[in-house]
Chain A
Amino acid sequence: MVKLIRQLLATTIAVGALATAAHAAGPEIVAGPSADAKCFKPWTPETKFFKFPKKEGPYRIALANGFIGNTWRIQMIQTAKAYSEQPDVKAKLKEFKVVSTGDDVAAQIAAVDNFINSGYDAIVVNAQNPTSFKPVIKRAKAAGVVLVAFDNTLDTDEAINVNVDQKGLGELWGQWLVDHLPEGGKILEVRGVTGTSVDRDRHEGVQEVLAKSGKKFETVEVNGRWDDGTAQKVTADAVAVHKKFDGVTAQGGSTGTVRALMDAGHAFVPVGAETENGFRKLCAEHSADGLKCTSAGSGPAQVAVAIKTAIAALEGDVVPQSIALPLAIDHDPDFKDGVNFYSKESDNFFVGNSFPDCGINFTAQEIMGQSKENQ
């Protein structure tokens, strides 16, 4: 018994020592601005700046993705691969590994833990849930690993977040509907993957603007999982039940959403949705019939900004804790073939895919085209 207690005590002390060491391994909080102020824009004036201890390259970097199975995620992974293959980036990387774990948040946590255990220098995540990574953030910090979340970010100020203003995107869509529906009306809101921060923030943005407009809006919510097939199905179901909507907003799967309306013989109405090429094709074609669209979104290339941030942090550069990226916005009547949509190309890619301020200039066609050749 005494032995057991002694062992327990020893463990406690060891753990305590580890925790102290852990504290030392975290980033230093410094004054801004960041090393690349044009690309790494702080989210607010109050955003902290991190300076990690400089590590010698080349680095081992991992991408721990959660949900996969829609165009955006596929384009995101292809962009990550293409970015890591660029000569100047490749020179800094010893290894770049991608794993997708699906909906199961425990599996994604285990994935990040596994990368920490294997001694990766930085881990980039598209988090399945904004709140459940607290223990992982702690462990990453203890191990001196740079953790960068993008798209679906983490509710924390201990890890780096890279994102567009997801709530602002919802507000933009909501405002579009408010502007085009002077009488208010019944809105179909096609939401994304439940539980994620992006779904939550976009939804809140839409709802707040509709509520603030003072007009009478009623919303019907369905879950399209940011996927054309799913969005098309749930939209068809919603139209079958509710018969008529005055406006539509979709977080993703926008092409499927509009196609479902057309298949059901539903009248063309104003739509606020993402930047899929297919959606923009339909918007341009049916603008005169009443399909008035705003097409705005977060480019899948933000993964490249996240990787760039991770490398900068490892090189000891100052980076903001929370980085704001610009939205890609185009709306009716500004859709121009060959400029902001491509009528001869596939429906299935997101048009906005470059962040020129960060030197990331992939066109979506390059990315999705390249993947086909590789396979």
Chain B
Amino acid sequence: MKTGALSNWRYWIAHNAGVLTAVVLFAAMFTLYISNHSAGLTPAVATTAANKAVLLALVAMAQTLPVLTRGLDLSVGMVFVMANCIASTIVVGTVGEGLLGIVAVLLIGALAGFINGAIVVWGRLQPIITTLATGAVYYGISLFVRPGPGGDVQSDIADLLTGQLFGAIPAALVVLLVVVLVVWVPYRRSVLGRAAYAVGSNEQAAYMSGVPVQRAKLLAYTLAGVLASIAGLMLTFNTYSGEASAPIAGTYTLNSIAAVVIGGTSLFGGWGSAIGSIFGAFVLRTIEDLLFVFDLPPLWQPLFQGVVLLFAVSLGAFRILRVRNRLELFS
């Protein structure tokens, strides 16, 4: 009995090693950051860090779902920016109207994700090509909605979700927690969620075993759209405005992939979790924050960021080097 419990525990550690590495890495970096911060860990400092980190964490969660099915979503950043542009147009007015606008933005995000999934599943195109193309379309829509930066947002909702609860807890972290509990946990436990892992691990075997391959992929891409649009909403609440910025879309797409890798999710699919990606995103954001507390010459900062990023990705990528599916060794 005792050995059983122990081996369960060891199994859990082995299974979550990727996530744990990201958590430890984040904890170490954040401690380094806070201990050198002139204000220390005040609610304001935590809120600033959280507001920035949660944006990337949500986009990284969005990226994780297609990656688990052995796909890749190059449009997450564009959906994020599109949601930002649309939200800066329709999440306005009274609190009620603002909430309606939020629902509309989420539906648009879901639709964008569904279109990606539909083309991948029924059009049988490579995910990377599909989402490169749809991403350009979504960016086009963003530009159409908001040709120049501007717009507004319902400021009560914005202040509530980017401020602090009870003057201490960053509200953005609560939003992230709610998203994890309402979207990720039920998804991970659902049949289609488990099917996504099976598809990513070995699509043919999953198909032969009667796993609903198509529905699993469709749901993964659709949820990715929803998560990216939540991030877009949060960006709008942070900036009170919208901007169709291609560099921002590109930055978030690439960083989301880096966050997924740091979080221990295999880019070959079938292994990993959105929780890891969240911490991967936190690690990436803390790398930026470290610039504040260390007096690096300004022109050396990008170099420093690159070196630390390389280090972090290498740690996360250890798991990618593992044999993806032992059965393949025999084939």
Contact = CB atoms under 8 A, between A and B. Distances in A.
- Is chain B a partner of chain A in the same complex? yes
Interface of A: 7, 11, 14-15, 65, 68-69, 74, 77, 81, 97-107, 109-111, 113-114, 116-119, 129-135, 155, 193-195, 200, 371, 374-375
Contacts of A110: 48-49, 51-52, 288-289
B55 A134 contact: no
A14 B247 contact: no
A306 to B, nearest CB: 16
A194 B246 contact: yes
A118 B243 contact: no
Interface string B280-306: 000000001101100101110110000
A111 B289 CA distance: 8
Most buried by B among A74, A106, A119: A106
A135 B151 contact: no
Given A118-B39, A119-B39, A135-B158, 11 more contacts: A7-B166, A11-B167, A14-B167, A15-B167, A97-B295, A103-B248, A106-B235, A110-B289, A113-B48, A117-B48, A135-B159
7 contacts: A68-B302, A100-B302, A102-B302, A103-B251, A109-B51, A132-B238, A132-B243
Nearest to A101: B288
B240 interface: yes
B93 interface: no
Contact of A131 (B48, B159, B241, B291): B241
A106 B252 CA distance: 11
Contact of A118 (B37, B149, B158): B37
Contacts of B163: 15
Given A119-B39, A131-B150, A195 B299 contact: no
A103 B42 contact: no
A77 B39 contact: no
A135 B37 CA distance: 23
B247 A194 contact: yes
Interface string B38-65: 1100101100110110010000000000
Interface of B is mostly: helix
Interface string B145-178: 0001111000000110011011100000000000
A110 B48 CA distance: 6
B239 interface: yes
A135 B238 contact: yes
A99 B49 CA distance: 16
Contacts of A117: 39, 42, 44-45, 48
A293 to B, nearest CB: 29
A119 B246 CA distance: 33
A105 B44 contact: no
Contacts of A113: 44, 48, 51
A368 to B, nearest CB: 12
Q: For chain B, which range describes its interface: under 10, 10 to 19, 20 to 34, or 35 or more residues?
A: 35 or more
A158 to B, nearest CB: 13
B245 interface: yes
Contact of B48 (A114, A130, A193, A375): A114
Interface string B90-118: 00000000000000000000000000000
Nearest to B159: A135
A130 B149 contact: yes
Most buried by B among A111, A114, A374: A114
Contact of B241 (A68, A132, A194, A375): A132
Given A106-B52, A119-B39, A134 B289 contact: no
Contacts of B247: 103-104, 193-195
B29 to A, nearest CB: 15
B251 A104 contact: yes
B149 A77 contact: no
Given A111-B292, A129-B149, A106 B166 contact: no
Contacts of A14: 167
Interface string B56-91: 000000000000000000000000000000000000
A102 B239 contact: no
A200 B162 CA distance: 29
B38 A118 contact: yes
Nearest to A139: B44
B34 to A, nearest CB: 12
Contacts of A15: 163, 167
A135 B245 CA distance: 19
A159 to B, nearest CB: 14
A99 B48 CA distance: 16
Interface string B163-203: 10111000000000000000000000000000000000000
A106 B50 CA distance: 11
Contacts of A74: 299
Nearest to B244: A195
Contacts of A116: 44
A298 to B, nearest CB: 20
Given A74-B299, A114-B289, A135 B42 contact: no
A153 to B, nearest CB: 13
Contact of A77 (B167, B298, B302): B298
Nearest to B245: A195
Contacts of B148: 195, 200
Given A97-B295, A98-B298, A107 B149 contact: no
B122 to A, nearest CB: 34
Contacts of B162: 135
A107 B166 contact: no
Contacts of A114: 45, 48, 289, 292
B238 A109 contact: yes
Given A7-B166, A97-B295, A118-B38, A135 B48 contact: no
Contacts of B239: 105-106, 109, 129, 131-135
Nearest to A7: B166
Most buried by B among A7, A109, A375: A109
A374 B150 CA distance: 41
B43 to A, nearest CB: 10
Contacts of B299: 68, 74, 77, 371, 375
